[in-house]
Amino acid sequence: MASSRALLILCFSAIVFLKITSGQSIANVSTICLLASNSAVFVFGDSIFDSGNNNYINTIVHLLSNYQPYGQTFFKFPTGRFSDGRIIPDFIAEFAKLPLLPPYLYPGIYDDHYIYGVNFASSGAGALAETSQGTVIDLGTQASNFIKVSQQLKNKLGEGKAKSLISRAVFIFSLVGNDYVTPVSPTNSTVVLPYPPQEMVDVVTGNITIAIQKIYKEGGRKFALMNAAPFSCFPLLRRNGSSISSCQEEEAALLARLHNHVLPQKLQKLQEQLTEIKYTVFDFYNALLQLMKYPSNYGFQEGEVACCGGGPYRGDYSCGGKRGIEEYELCENVNDYVYFDSVHPTEASAQHFANLMWAGTGNFTHPYNLKQLFEY
């Protein structure tokens, strides 16, 4: 099979010939070339993946990052990403030779861009509709928004080309953090899970599989999911001074491990029903723990304390004056840090995770890495 690069060269070499012999416009033929050589990326998730959708909804200040010092490195201004710069989907798009994927709600987006994909993620969102209800775009709504985009692609490209684009696209997910962390976060005075732990994990993973089924019905075939992080080890939830060993035994991390046990079982069962589906799971839990425990092995200096924030481990919700807390600390060299704020990776650690997702071995990505999934 010819490589994507060879297909692209061949396709564009034909543009002049087609223009002369058939009268097709160069714009039309160029679109066909792009469809033949690139796999689109559609992004679903929470603040780890949100590229700015929350800028355009009525939400609370804790779920916004459209103010300094967010965005200070790569973009030089806040974009709505919870990072000093780029986030994981930005690097995935770069590896796939795609432009940065805009937020779905960005008012300047046009149908033409959907051939590359788009970002539906919303900071604070979960797989459960009741997680941060009324202030975010939950997973079910994100899946419904994709169905709208699918219809727009059919209207623009025709049924056949749209179906081809969607079947070759990769759908990436980062969810469940808010489902498991929100009930135990410092902003809640009492810890009340909406369901008993096993039932809650079953409902959360069930909602994820329902979203995948909706996308599959629209023609989606390739899915990449991040598993649950060791949430209790985030700076946000370690303000009691817990060690990396002890934080893994606290409630949010226990829920994460239970989730990570159940999710592959649900996906395997789903594959038995949807025979054309291909999926991979990135082990975010252990990849993050490795960075926290041994930061110097990966080019970092600090794996536990956030670059931006206040309080122990800089784990307060205080990165940026807009949050109503005027005083916060900001590190001198953000590239030394794994965490930018109390929950979210720096651009440097986001790139590290994206590299593992894209070309990692079975230690962190199973059964495929993203590069293999794109090429499938």
Catalytic residues: 47, 341, 344
Task: Give the side-chain half-sphere CA count within 13 A for 368.
Answer: 16
Give the pairing of strands 117-119 and 278-282.
Answer: unpaired
- How far is C-alpha 254 from the geometric centre of its chain's CA atoms? 22
Q: Mark 281-305 as b/e (b = at least 16 C-beta within 10 Å).
A: bbbbbebbbbbbeebeeeebebbbb
Q: By the 8 A CB rule, do 200 and 273 touch?
A: no
Inter-CA distances, 128 with 72, 200, 202, 260, 341, Å? 32, 9, 11, 17, 24
Q: Which two tokens stand for residue 16?
A: 């002049």
Element (H, E) at 252: helix 251-273
Element (H, E) at 290: helix 284-293
Q: How far apart are CA 217 and CA 214, in angstroms?
A: 5
Q: Which two tokens stand for residue 66?
A: 């459209």
Check the CA dihedral 182-186-188-189 and report its sign: positive
Element (H, E) at 330: strand 329-330
Q: How far apart are CA 244 and CA 250, in angstroms?
A: 11
Q: By the 8 A CB rule, do 101 and 40 touch?
A: no
Q: What are the start-end ranges of the H helices in 126-172? A: 139-157, 159-168
- Total length of the chain: 376
Q: Which two tokens stand for residue 218?
A: 């629209």
Q: How far apart are CA 221 and CA 282, in angstroms?
A: 17
